[in-house]
Homo-oligomer: A and B are copies of this chain.
Amino acid sequence: MIKTKVITIGDEILLGQIINSNSAYINSKLYSVGIKVNKVVEIGDNKEDFIYELQDSFENYNITLITGGLGPTHDDITKSVLIDFFEDKLILNDKILEHVKNFFAKREIVMPESNVEQAMVPSTAKIIWNEYGTAPGILMEKDDKVFISMPGVPFEMKAMIDNSILFLLKDKFQNYFDSVVKSKTILTTGIGESLLAEKIGDVNEILNGHNLAFLPSPLGVRLRIDVKTDSEESAKEEINIIENKLIEKIGEYVFGFNEELLEEILGKKLFEKNLTLAVAESCTGGILSSRITDIPGSSNYFLGGVCSYSNEAKIEILSVHKNTISKFGAVSEETAIEMANNVRKKFNSNFGLSTTGIAGPTGGTDDKPLGLTYIGFSSKEKSYAKKFIFGDNRERNRMRTAQAALNILRKEI
């Protein structure tokens, strides 16, 4: 098997100022073509550490992918260390210089002089085109070990992976793929990790020597099936067998597979059935509608929403009865139902969803504890509200409420 390592460079990661989302993207894309990343190392903007990792890569890994440290500013060190390590020198690449100049011209901005630096590349490097930015990617080889350096800006790096690097790697290492590794992830929501494990029971009986990983998150527990066999076909078959056994036991909690999002699954259903939705949000304050509208094409089924964050807004904009709020409270079954009904009528949609709850960190009482949440559902045929008691963390309560609301609608369609 080939061994693969990812190096991310940048003090900002080691100081915890940004999250390393780049390596997650690289890992998942490489895995999708059968290359499993064995190790990710994060180091700072530090020449010695980078040289140490390059040496380790040269000795132990076939493929090394590097992100970060390629920008036009003074703190970027990657290129100078690479030419030292490969005993190479930088030369001006006219095509890249033209690309960089065009990049600024298109945006009607005068090119800062420092950007000429971007067109300087190692003389033995293969250039990887940067569609969305000015710093090119660089591929260098030494004794059949491949080193690829990319910018740290996520969308520039992602386009390089998708449009060039996956093809280059598949092509170069095609003879190495002896066994087939495949995964499938089952997405559940509305049940905790250990209860899910109990419902599944003896995993060894189900797995036939393969693997199952439990991945908890505030949006639900994901179950990843990993199989390793000698052919694409048998891998699919093995996954199918395990998946069916799992679905039999926990199917009621499953909403999708792999990278699917609940808002995406829901959107497809609404679109296919030509149904529309409007939402009235209190405690989620826009999370529900922003998740729905994250999906391209959501304007086909999402008509809009009201974020009624104050009681006045609930009464004036959403026409919730004053008495309902004074008698039962803003966080109540009755208010949730009225919110869902009224938003559906106002937007003239097929469905209405509503959220109202005590997200925290304060506002809880003995009667209505922190985390108390009602989610309202409304269609022409029926309306109701479901009660939840989430925890005492504002962020998680809001996320869980939005997820539970989408799941209620998914089950109704």
Is A19 a contact partner of B17 (Cβ separation < 8 A)? Answer: no
- Report the minimal beta-carbon distance from A322 to chain B, rounded to whole angstroms: 16
Q: Flag whether A289 is at the interface (Cβ < 8 A).
A: yes
User: A279-317: which residues lie under 8 A (CB-CB) from chain B?
Assistant: 279, 281, 284-294, 296, 298-299, 302-310, 312-313, 316-317
Given A23-B20, A183-B15, the answer on whether A395 and B294 have CB atoms closer than 8 Å is yes
> Of B15, B112, B203, B212, which contacts A197 at CB under 8 A?
B112
Is B45 a contact partner of A213 (Cβ separation < 8 A)? Answer: yes
Is A25 a contact partner of B14 (Cβ separation < 8 A)? Answer: no
User: How many of these chains are in the complex?
Assistant: 2
By a CB distance below 8 angstroms, the chain B residues around A37 are 14, 16
> Of B44, B153, B312, which contacts A348 at CB under 8 A?
B312
Secondary structure of the A contact surface, majority rule: mixed
Is A73 a contact partner of B40 (Cβ separation < 8 A)? Answer: no
- Report the minimal beta-carbon distance from A93 to chain B, rounded to whole angstroms: 18
Q: Mark A170-202, 1 if CB is under 8 A from B, else 0.
A: 000000000000010100000011110110000
Is B306 a contact partner of A306 (Cβ separation < 8 A)? Answer: yes
Q: Mark A253-291, 1 if CB is under 8 A from B, else 0.
A: 000000000000000000000000001010011111111
By a CB distance below 8 angstroms, the chain B residues around A134 are 194
Chain B residue nearest in CB terms to A293: B285
How far is it, in angstroms, between the C-alpha of A71 and the C-alpha of B288 when the chains are bound? 30
Is A303 a contact partner of B294 (Cβ separation < 8 A)? Answer: no
Q: Mark A31-73, 1 if CB is under 8 A from B, else 0.
A: 1000011111111110001000000000000000000000111
Is B393 a contact partner of A155 (Cβ separation < 8 A)? Answer: yes
How far is it, in angstroms, between the C-alpha of A296 and the C-alpha of B316 when the chains are bound? 24
Is A14 a contact partner of B41 (Cβ separation < 8 A)? Answer: no
Q: Mark A1-29, 1 if CB is under 8 A from B, else 0.
A: 00000000011111111111101111111
Q: Of the 9-residue stretches A80-88, A141-149, A216-224, A244-252, which lies at the interface with chain B?
A: A216-224
Q: Flag whether A98 is at the interface (Cβ < 8 A).
A: no
By a CB distance below 8 angstroms, the chain B residues around A124 are none
Given A75-B212, A290-B290, the answer on whether A310 and B299 have CB atoms closer than 8 Å is yes
Q: Flag whether A360 is at the interface (Cβ < 8 A).
A: yes
Q: Flag whether A334 is at the interface (Cβ < 8 A).
A: no
How far is it, in angstroms, between the C-alpha of A10 and the C-alpha of B222 when the chains are bound? 14
Chain B residue nearest in CB terms to A44: B38
Interface residues of A (CB under 8 A from B): 10-21, 23-31, 36-45, 49, 71-75, 109, 112-115, 132, 134, 153, 155, 183, 185, 192-195, 197-198, 203, 211-217, 222, 224, 226, 279, 281, 284-294, 296, 298-299, 302-310, 312-313, 316-317, 346-348, 360-362, 391, 393-396, 398
Q: Contacts A312-B348, A317-B317 known; list 8 others, CB within 8 Å.
A: A15-B31, A16-B37, A17-B224, A41-B42, A45-B213, A294-B398, A304-B313, A317-B347
Closest 4 interchain pairs by CB? A16-B28, A285-B293, A286-B289, A16-B27
20 A/B residue pairs, CB under 8 Å, sorted by A: A14-B36, A14-B38, A15-B224, A16-B24, A16-B31, A17-B185, A17-B224, A19-B20, A20-B20, A72-B194, A73-B197, A114-B194, A155-B393, A284-B290, A285-B290, A286-B290, A286-B292, A286-B293, A289-B307, A294-B398
